[in-house]
Homo-oligomer: A and B are copies of this chain.
């Protein structure tokens, strides 16, 4: 094992967040509670609580449990999807609890940036286009996550993949850029940095870990998925990438016969995400996961995963760098 310090081409995220590695564990519904967040933070990454599936009081509980698990003031973040009806309350919990890093997603970056920044928080927004990245920068957002269409869960309507999204966002803004979508190993981390990112956000790979709070059946589905086993569906009511469960296949059939948004909404009903990812219901649930699932073959602890990612990154970097120097 090589103990020489790793080289990262940019240290901007390390400085902005106070973390060791520019690797961010994505906030994910029914998946990234305090256990995953604390484990990622302990491994030198930015851990993140996904508030998207939490009521305000539950979010508060997870924040306090994370603090309890970390004890030493190690930084961590909270992700708040802005389309939540009670988003004001979730944001207020973040402010009350003095959360220092907030990731907002799925909404207008102008909504809470000023409020959050006044509270002393660093604000990061998730974007699917370079155009929105530029708008974020203009509105004072501190960094952007640009998320390619490979990513699991809610997704941009323009279906721009990571490989072409990252360099365009890099060229569009001066603030730090975090690449997301399809990153599951050290090769992917290096490729994202080659394209111009300052660091990466990793979702599905962290969902399939011991500390992830999602159901074992969901983790198993990620491990079993092959290269064509996810689909971007529900395009008329909010494009979502998911594993091809029976529900997902039905939604695709609906789309193939041009079902209306109302029909899709009725099919979707309520609590599909909970039934899938939290309860493990393969038949009726929704299993949100990215295309990178195809490269995920195990359910390690977060610590061993991060060790492996860093070793793979080093190996890829040495292969690319050669021995010219």
Q: Which residue of B lies closest to A313 (CB)?
A: B194
1/0 contact trace for A273-306 toward B, CB 8 Å? 0000000000000000001101100000000000
Task: List residues of chain B with CB within 8 A of the CB of A319.
Answer: 9
1/0 contact trace for A153-166 toward B, CB 8 Å? 00000101111110
CA distance A76 to B7 in the complex (A): 39
- The answer to whether A163 and B190 touch across the interface, beta carbons within 8 angstroms, is no
Task: List residues of chain B with CB within 8 A of the CB of A256.
Answer: 258
- The answer to whether B167 and A324 touch across the interface, beta carbons within 8 angstroms, is no
1/0 contact trace for A60-97 toward B, CB 8 Å? 00000000000000000000000000000000000000
- The answer to whether A150 and B168 touch across the interface, beta carbons within 8 angstroms, is no
A residues 134-186 touching B (CB-CB < 8 Å)? 148-150, 158, 160-165, 167-168, 171, 181-183, 185
- The answer to whether A163 and B161 touch across the interface, beta carbons within 8 angstroms, is yes
Q: Is A1 an interface residue (CB 8 A)?
A: no
A residues 297-325 touching B (CB-CB < 8 Å)? 316-317, 319-325
Given contacts A4-B324, A194-B194, A227-B129, whether A291 and B160 have CB atoms under 8 Å apart is yes
| Sample of 22 A–B contacts (CB below 8 Å) | A7-B321, A9-B320, A129-B227, A129-B228, A149-B161, A160-B291, A161-B163, A163-B163, A163-B182, A163-B188, A163-B191, A164-B294, A165-B227, A167-B188, A168-B294, A171-B295, A190-B320, A191-B195, A194-B194, A321-B321, A321-B322, A325-B325
Cβ-closest 6 pairs across A and B? A161-B161, A7-B322, A321-B321, A325-B325, A258-B258, A191-B191
Task: A167-B187, A167-B188 given; name 6 further pairs at CB < 8 Å.
Answer: A7-B324, A160-B291, A161-B162, A163-B163, A321-B321, A323-B325
Which residues of A come within 8 Å of B, CB atoms? 4, 7-9, 129-131, 148-150, 158, 160-165, 167-168, 171, 181-183, 185, 187-188, 190-196, 227-228, 256-258, 291-292, 294-295, 316-317, 319-325
